[in-house]
Amino acid sequence: MSDLANQKRMAAAVLKCGINRVWFDPERQADIEAAISRDDLRELIEDGAIKARVVKGNSRGRARERMAKRAYGHQRGPGRRKGAAGARASSKRMWIGKIRAQRRALREMRDDGTIDRSLYRLMYRRASGGQFRSVAHLTAHVETMAGRMK
């Protein structure tokens, strides 16, 4: 077995890859051994006696599977969590989501005539003050208020 380290090094430079990715055809070993210049190696590369192996990658299959499960709430249990609830979803973001939903609901109620402008304004201010937990809580409150005002 001859030492082809020099040829392997030069072939790696010509192929623009690492030494470990260079493949020599075992049948053409004598030709490769005789090749002492980069031009000789280029010819052997064209002939297919020397090739660069394909880069090995890490499969994302398992990652995609996990992401799909997490999309509908799986694999997010207490054992997976690091940090406080506020670190995972900030209280400000939670508030923004809640208040926007409540304001949207109030606008819809005002536009379809469920509530009049004065009740809308009153409920809007109360929502801003944080009186309601959710849209359902707001809606229930609006129903009782609308009943009282009639």
Name residues whose C-beta falls within 8 Å of residue 69's C-beta, 6 or more positions apart in sequence.
75
71 within domain boundaries: no
Whether residue 3 is predicted with pLDDT greater than 90 in this model: the reply is no
Q: Are residues 95 and 46 in the same domain?
A: no
* pTM for the structure as a whole: 0.53
CATH number of the domain bearing residue 25 = 1.10.1650.10
CA dist list (Å): 57 to 54, 62, 137: 9, 13, 52
57 in any annotated domain: no
Report the mean per-residue pLDDT for the chain. 93
Interacting residues of 127 by C-beta distance below 8 A, sequence separation 6+: 99, 102, 103, 106, 138
Question: Residue 32's domain spans which residues?
Answer: 5-52
| Predicted confidence (pLDDT) per residue in 88-145, tens digit | 889 999 999 999 999 999 999 999 999 999 999 999 999 999 999 999 999 999 999 8
Residue pair 48/31 in contact by the 8 Å Cβ criterion: no
Q: How far apart are CA 38 and CA 9, in angstroms?
A: 10
Q: What is the pLDDT of residue 85?
A: 86
Interval 22-34: pLDDT, tens: 999 999 999 999 9
**Using the 8-state DSSP alphabet, how is residue 52 labeled?**
E
How much is the pLDDT for 146? 78
1, pLDDT greater than 60? no
Please check whether residue 43 lies inside any domain of the structure: yes
- In-domain check, residue 74: no
Count how many domains the chain has.
Answer: 2
What CATH number should be reported for the domain holding residue 107? 1.10.1200.60
